[in-house]
C-alpha cells in the first residue's frame, strides 16, 4: 500500500523539516512506498488530496503543524462526503508541534523512532468529527477540541509567535487572563437552555487535551457520538487564574464555578458582538456559533483503543 505524506517543512519553527530528515528512511522501511507532497501553506492540501485519491492512495499521514492538520481534516471530510461509497481516505499524523495534544490523547509516542513504529502498527478506526457553523454560514470541522472565549484569544496570540516553547501556552493564558473581560453568553445543549451569564470559556471537547497538556475534558471520547462541554464562569480574575491552573490535573471539574455537560449539539450566543473561537488551535470569531458532532465521520490511524487520561499521563511523564 502506498502512503501519501503531507509535509510542511516550515511547521513548528522548522521542526517538521528536521523531523522528516530523521524519519524518512524509517518510514520507507516500515510503511513501504511513499508519495511525498511538500506544502508551504494549508491551501495546497486540497490539490494533493485530490491527486492522491485519483491515484487510489487512501492512507494520508501529516507531518506539520495545527494549520496543516486543520486543512487536511477539513479536506478529508469534504472528499469523503463527495465519494460516499469509498474507499474513504484515512488520516494519520506524527507529532511535531509545541502542544502535541492530539498525540497525547491517542497515545502517539513523542520520540521520532517510537512514533514511526507506532504508526506502522496503527489501523484505521472511525472517529467522530466536530462541525462548526459560524453565524455568517461558514462551516468547518475539528477533530480534537473547539472552544469559544479566552481560549480563542490565546490561540491567536500563540499563532502569532515565531517560536513556541513548552511553557508558551501557560504564559499566554496568564497574559490573556489579565486583560480579558468575560462576555455574557447563552448556551444551549441539544436545544435546551443550559447556561446564561458571564463566561471565560466554553470548551466543546471531542478529545481530552489542549493547550500543551491541559486535561480539559478527561472523560471525553472520540467515538461516543457526544461532546463533553466544559464552561468556566466569569468569576473574579484571581479565582479564574486558580481555576485555569487546575486544568492540568483535571481538578477543575470539581469546582462549583465550572459547569460540565454532554451533548450532540452546542449553541453559543454571546452578547455584545463576535466571540473569539478556536478549532484545534486555529482562530476564528463569530457573534453566534453552533457545534454539531458527526459520529464516525473520519477514519483515523490508531494503534490501540483510545487510552484513558491516567494512561496518557503515565505514557508521557
Q: Which listed CATH number (3.40.47.10, 2.60.40.420, 3.40.720.10, 3.40.50.10330) goes with 3-128+297-316?
A: 3.40.50.10330
User: What are the grid coordinates assigned to 293, written together?
Assistant: 458532532
Residue 8 has pLDDT above 90, yes or no: no
Distance of CA 194 to the CA centre of its chain: 24
Domain residue ranges of the chain, discontinuous segments joined by +: 3-128+297-316, 130-295
* Domain spanning 130-295, CATH class: mainly beta
Distance between CA atoms of residues 4 and 38, nearest Å: 10
Share of the chain above pLDDT 70, in %: 91
Using the structure block, give the residue that is written with the C-alpha cell 484513558.
Answer: 308
The pLDDT score that the predictor gives to residue 77 is 92
pLDDT single digits (tens) 273-283: 889 999 988 88
CB 272 within 8 A of CB 184: yes
Share of the chain above pLDDT 90, in %: 51
pLDDT single digits (tens) 29-62: 999 999 999 987 777 888 899 889 888 899 999 9
pLDDT single digits (tens) 169-222: 778 888 889 999 999 999 999 999 999 999 999 999 999 988 877 899 999 999
pLDDT single digits (tens) 96-143: 755 567 788 888 888 888 989 999 999 999 999 999 998 888 899 999
* Whether the model pTM is above 0.85: yes
Compute the Cα dihedral for 115, 79, 293, 184 and give only its sign: positive
CB 158 within 8 A of CB 164: yes
Q: For residue 129, give the nearest of 235, 2, 267, 264 by alpha carbon.
A: 264
DSSP label at residue 254: G
Amino acid at each position: 500500500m502506498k502512503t501519501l505524506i503531507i509535509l510542511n517543512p516550515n511547521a513548528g519553527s522548522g521542526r517538521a523539516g528536521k523531523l522528516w530528515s530523521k524519519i524518512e528512511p524509517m518510514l520507507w522501511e516500515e510503511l513501504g512506498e511513499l508519495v511525498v507532497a511538500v506544502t508551504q501553506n494549508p491551501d495546497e492540501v486540497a490539490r494533493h488530496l485530490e491527486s492522491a485519491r485519483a491515484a487510489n492512495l487512501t492512507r494520508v499521514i501529516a507531518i506539520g503543524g495545527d494549520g496543516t492538520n486543520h486543512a487536511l481534516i477539513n479536506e478529508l471530510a469534504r472528499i469523503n462526503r463527495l465519494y460516499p461509497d469509498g474507499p474513504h481516505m484515512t488520516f494519520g499524523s506524527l507529532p511535531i508541534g509545541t502542544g502535541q495534544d492530539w498525540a497525547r490523547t491517542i497515545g502517539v509516542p513523542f520520540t521520532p523512532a517510537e512514533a514511526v513504529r507506532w504508526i506502522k502498527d496503527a489501523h484505521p478506526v472511525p472517529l467522530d468529527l466536530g462541525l462548526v457553523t459560524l453565524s455568517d454560514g461558514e462551516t468547518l470541522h475539528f477533530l480534537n477540541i473547539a472552544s469559544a472565549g479566552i481560549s480563542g484569544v490565546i490561540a491567536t496570540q500563540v499563532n502569532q509567535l515565531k517560536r513556541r516553547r513548552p511553557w508558551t501556552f501557560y504564559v499566554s493564558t496568564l497574559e490573556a487572563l489579565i486583560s480579558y473581560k468575560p462576555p455574557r453568553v447563552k448556551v444551549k445543549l441539544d436545544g435546551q437552555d443550559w447556561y446564561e451569564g458571564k463566561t471565560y470559556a466554553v470548551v466543546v471537547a471531542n478529545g481530552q487535551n489542549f493547550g500543551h497538556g491541559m486535561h480539559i475534558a478527561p472523560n471525553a471520547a472520540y467515538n461516543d457520538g457526544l461532546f463533553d462541554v466544559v464552561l468556566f464562569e466569569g468569576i473574579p480574575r484571581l479565582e479564574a487564574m486558580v481555576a485555569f491552573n487546575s486544568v492540568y490535573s483535571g481538578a477543575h471539574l470539581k469546582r462549583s464555578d465550572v459547569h460540565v455537560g454532554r451533548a450532540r449539539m452546542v449553541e453559543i450566543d454571546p452578547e455584545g458582538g463576535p466571540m473569539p473561537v478556536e478549532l484545534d488551535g486555529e482562530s476564528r470569531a463569530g457573534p453566534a456559533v453552533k457545534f454539531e458532532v458527526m459520529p464516525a465521520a473520519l477514519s483515523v490511524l490508531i494503534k490501540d483503543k483510545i487510552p484513558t487520561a491516567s494512561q496518557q499521563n503515565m505514557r508521557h511523564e
